[in-house]
């Protein structure tokens, strides 16, 4: 029996790593995916995007058959267009506490759901631009957003396009309250910074480990590509951490390899890094 390869699967973030802010995938990246397929190396997508939003871009690239981690680990699916095998819901009482942490600091958060119809609900003054909110189907506007939280399956919260100083008190309150996991990072789509909230102790890495266990893959033998604060745990856990050159310094600092930007076809360096 031949020995198992050093890398048993590749995991990639989407925005800023696999594709551009407009969800454009470089031709060289498409070719690299085909090379991974030919080598029998599975590709797992791990994104902070919601299901509807991610599926739009993956359908454009013909990749909806790939396994995917959504909402920074809140959901995981065997196919981007399939059902969730992992659902890390936020308890209704914790959801209310999280909502109040946002509202007491002047923001009405976006609320992300595990719902095939509408996986994003917003109130009258959502904490993101209209363009961000309308970027994909599956959005529902409600009058009294806080009142909805006890009757829906909440996966996460978000606010995008704000100064770091406005988001830090919210993240601090959520973390100190023990209600959920709060991550602040640069907002590729909205500019400035964004705050993403998932269930307590949940992130991309926890869902990746669930996927590897489900598929008999060694979680210590992963090549991982990412560029944001929500990618740090999975990059630090990787056997091979790969980061684009335009990522923040704090992210590049954990990389084993730094590659060109996705717009310049940086993903095409993955086969050489893996020795394919």
Residue 135: is its pLDDT beyond 90? no
Distance CA 125, CA 226 (A): 31
DSSP per-residue string spanning 231-251: GHHHHHH-SEEEEETTS-HHH
Q: Report the SS3 class of residue 58.
A: helix
Place of tokens 């509807």: 52
Segment among 1-5, 78-82, 186-190, 272-276 with least mean pLDDT: 1-5
Place of tokens 């991550």: 183
Segment among 72-76, 102-106, 115-119, 219-223 with least mean pLDDT: 115-119
What pLDDT score does 153 carry? 93
What pLDDT score does 192 carry? 87
Both tokens of 205, joined, read 């890495």
| Among the four given CATH numbers 1.10.760.10, 3.20.20.70, 1.10.3720.10, 3.30.1240.10, the one describing domain 92-199 | 3.30.1240.10
pTM, entire model: 0.93
Single out the residue of 16, 76, 36 nearest to residue 262, CA to CA.
Answer: 16
Distance CA 11, CA 231 (A): 11
Both tokens of 257, joined, read 């390899």
What are the extents of the domains in the chain?
Answer: 9-87+203-274, 92-199
Model confidence pLDDT, tens digit, residues 30-69:
999 999 999 999 999 999 999 999 999 999 999 999 999 9
Distance CA 21, CA 191 (A): 11
What pLDDT score does 1 carry? 35
Residue 103: is its pLDDT beyond 80? yes
**Could you say which architecture CATH assigns to the domain 9-87+203-274?**
3-Layer(aba) Sandwich (3.40)
Helices (H), 82-203: 92-103, 130-133, 145-148, 164-177
Single out the residue of 18, 2, 8, 11 nearest to residue 268, CA to CA.
Answer: 18
What pLDDT score does 63 carry? 93
Distance CA 268, CA 79 (A): 24
What pLDDT score does 3 carry? 41
Q: Report the SS3 class of residue 98.
A: helix
User: Please, which pLDDT band fits residue 188 given cuts at 50, 70 and 90?
Assistant: confident
């Amino acid at each position: 029996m031949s020995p198992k390869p050093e890398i048993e699967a590749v995991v990639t973030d989407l925005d800023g790593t696999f594709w551009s802010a407009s969800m454009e995938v470089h031709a060289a990246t498409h070719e690299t995916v085909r090379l991974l397929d030919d080598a029998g190396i599975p590709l797992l997508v791990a994104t902070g995007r919601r299901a509807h939003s991610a599926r739009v871009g993956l359908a454009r690239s013909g990749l909806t058959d790939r396994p995917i981690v959504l909402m920074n680990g809140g959901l995981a699916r065997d196919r981007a267009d399939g059902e969730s095998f992992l659902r890390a819901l936020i308890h209704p009482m914790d959801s209310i506490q999280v909502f109040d942490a946002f509202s007491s600091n002047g923001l009405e958060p976006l609320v992300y759901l595990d719902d095939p119809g509408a996986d994003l609900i917003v109130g009258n003054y959502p904490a993101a631009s209209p363009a961000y909110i309308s970027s994909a189907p599956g959005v529902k506007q409600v009058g009294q957003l806080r009142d909805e939280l006890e009757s829906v399956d909440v996966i996460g919260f978000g606010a995008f396009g704000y100064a770091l100083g406005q988001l830090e008190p919210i993240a601090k309150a959520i973390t100190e309250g023990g209600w959920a996991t709060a991550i602040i990072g640069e907002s590729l789509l909205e500019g400035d910074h964004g705050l993403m909230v998932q269930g307590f102790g949940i992130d991309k890495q926890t869902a990746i480990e669930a996927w590897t266990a489900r598929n008999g893959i060694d979680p210590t033998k992963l090549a991982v590509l990412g560029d944001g604060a929500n990618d740090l745990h999975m990059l630090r856990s990787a056997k091979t951490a790969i980061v684009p050159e335009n990522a923040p310094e704090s992210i590049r600092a954990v990389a084993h390899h730094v590659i060109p930007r996705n717009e310049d076809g940086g993903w095409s360096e993955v086969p050489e890094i893996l020795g394919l």
